Amino acid sequence: MIELTFLGTNATKPTLERFTSSIAIRHEGEVYLFDCGEGIQIRIGQSGFSLMKIDKLFVTHLHGDHVLGIPGILFSMAKNQREAPLKIYGPPGTAMSVHHMRRASYGRIPFEIDVIELEPGDTVGPITAFETEHTGNSIGYVFREPDTTRIDKAKMDKHGFKPNSKFKKLKQGETIEINGIKLKPKDWLIPVKGSSLAYTGDTVKSDKVIEAVAGVDLLIHESTYLSEDDSGFDYGHCSAKDAARVAKQAGVGSLFLIHFSPRYANLAPLLKEAKQVFKNSFIAKDLARVTIKDTIVQVE
Amino acid sequence: MIELTFLGTNATKPTLERFTSSIAIRHEGEVYLFDCGEGIQIRIGQSGFSLMKIDKLFVTHLHGDHVLGIPGILFSMAKNQREAPLKIYGPPGTAMSVHHMRRASYGRIPFEIDVIELEPGDTVGPITAFETEHTGNSIGYVFREPDTTRIDKAKMDKHGFKPNSKFKKLKQGETIEINGIKLKPKDWLIPVKGSSLAYTGDTVKSDKVIEAVAGVDLLIHESTYLSEDDSGFDYGHCSAKDAARVAKQAGVGSLFLIHFSPRYANLAPLLKEAKQVFKNSFIAKDLARVTIKDTIVQVE
């Protein structure tokens, strides 16, 4: 299961209702942070995540509304006597930005910070960077659980086979024997597709994005403007309608719009124009939690 | 009149209820910002101040909880096409910190930033820096309106003198003549004492502070701990009780405690121990507004 919490959903400027871009993803005991707008440690506190559990931070690009929460997080981790190393991934330029962030205020940082600059196609565990089209070095991230299998319990029940310590071996691909009957994995295991999501960071509507996010269960796509206001191409941004076109063309399960210009007090028109193109569209809200289990997206 | 708004009142770590250190002061059409903790642009938005009206920012020292809101403010001012120069004052080291803040994220800053490093005793208009005792370079600020005079209206009424264009000259120190009677300034002007306040930033209880803030109408003093928890001296901090001792010894009008350790969910014990020493003590709260008019402190 992948569990994600939107921590900040605005573009440009944080407000009390909408901090700037950040998403926390919890998966198999690890907490990943994607982008980190100013003040995100406040939202982390509200969300119930422990700041100290974040070991990997993924940055899409180096504009202030995506990274200016990092210095505060480093400062608070230091105050909490963190010792574990922190890994920060991002496009070329990330190391230089982090270099300056560490020196923006005084105070010793008693843990190691490794900055790893990624190119599209680079992977970190279940996460792969992909190319986006913004105004400088920028990448998006796709998170794909590997496909697995599960025991066909209904069939087992039907044959009177009770849960058994040998099941683990069967799941690992071995043929097992119960009551003298040989059970081959291919007959008793059901394939389970891994869950997946993608987060674009900032980008115009892009074929490269469509290709990279094809078929994900959940696409989180920037949608800075309404299409009628969209002078965004010049600034490397995208309308809600174009975000929905990407979702449709990529054949994703659900679309969450994010990164809204602060000019919009009411986001209903953005949702409306997205839904006209791609029905399964939603507005990302700060502190909203979404799970993806067996490819099923659920808003909590 | 001096009008001040507390924008952030916590030490170390911002929470939704208490952002970290920052105070906005409005005086004669100018808006000054004292310290700027992370996310303070959110509080500025809530307070109704315009970010663009801030032309002078005063920093007490360069710890993260006092300065990490500056990069976000620069980013937002740039997004708003600010052209007016911004002046940032602070202790030695401020220029280097601002150098790094400008480079922590990408984005052109289209206005000039002048950083002026101050020594204790340096003045900027009504503001004078004073020495504090923290862990590195640190200063506090005292803001003193000059003493002025006003026309003794009651006396004028008694003599049947109506408000007159000549009053302005009288106020400027000239003898004027009304109905053939000479009015000398010393007989018709009442001295008006300027209002004053001081903000310590972080410090231990210090005789230097007591001397610098003597007699101010309003003292805003850090009080990180309860006295029973005070291991603060090692870290350059102060208890609520010691802050009250400073207020008492300096003979100030009112004391506002600020900069509370996030360990305290309830600040009543800090207020209690301060009041035992100095009755006119208050707890600073985010977004609380205080005015000082003719030396009278009023909480709105």
* List of domains in chain B: 2-147+193-299 (3.60.15.10), 148-191 (no CATH)
Handedness of CA A77, A78, A83, A87 (dihedral sign): positive
Nearest-angstrom CA–CA distance, B209 and B186? 36
* B15 touches A: beta carbon within 8 Å: yes
CB contact under 8 A, B103 and A100: yes
pLDDT reported for residue A67: 98
Residue A35 known to be catalytic: no
Q: What is the ipTM of this complex?
A: 0.91
Element (H, E) at A148: strand A148-151
From chain B residues 19-78, the ones with a CB under 8 A of any chain A CB are 19, 38-39, 41-42, 45-46, 61-69, 71-72, 75-76
Burial readout A199-209 (b: 16 or more C-beta within 10 A, e: otherwise): bbbbbbbbeeb
Burial readout A42-56 (b: 16 or more C-beta within 10 A, e: otherwise): bbbbebebebeebeb
For residue B225, give the amino acid letter.
Y
From chain B residues 210-229, the ones with a CB under 8 A of any chain A CB are none
Nearest-angstrom CA–CA distance, B178 and B167? 10
* A15 touches B: beta carbon within 8 Å: yes
Low-confidence ranges of chain A (pLDDT < 50): none
Task: Report how far apart the first and last C-alpha atoms of chain B are (Å, whole number).
Answer: 14
pLDDT reported for residue B99: 97
Q: Which of B35, B55, B65, B202 is catalytic?
A: B65
Burial readout B121-149 (b: 16 or more C-beta within 10 A, e: otherwise): eeebebbbbbbbbbbebbbbbbbbbeeeb
| Among A119, A77, A123, A131, residue whose Cα is nearest residue A94 | A119
How many Cβ atoms sit within 10 Å of the Cβ of residue B273? Answer: 21
Residues B288, B24 contacting (CB under 8 angstroms): no
pLDDT reported for residue B107: 85
Residues A193, A295 contacting (CB under 8 angstroms): yes
Residues B24, B56 contacting (CB under 8 angstroms): no
| Among A23, A7, A36, residue whose Cα is nearest residue A94 | A36
Token pair for B243:
């802050």
* A113 touches B: beta carbon within 8 Å: no
CB contact under 8 A, B100 and A104: yes
Condensed to tens digits (0 to 9), the pLDDT of residues A178-203 reads: 888 999 999 999 999 999 999 999 99
For residue B107, give the amino acid letter.
G
Condensed to tens digits (0 to 9), the pLDDT of residues A150-168 reads: 999 999 999 988 888 888 8
pLDDT tens for chain B, 300 residues long, are 999 999 999 999 999 999 999 999 999 999 999 999 999 999 999 998 899 999 999 999 999 999 999 999 999 999 999 999 999 999 999 999 999 999 999 988 999 999 999 999 999 999 999 999 999 999 999 999 999 999 999 999 999 888 888 888 998 889 999 888 999 999 999 999 999 999 999 999 999 999 999 999 999 999 999 999 877 566 899 999 999 999 999 999 999 999 999 999 999 999 999 999 999 999 999 999 999 999 999 998
pLDDT reported for residue B235: 83
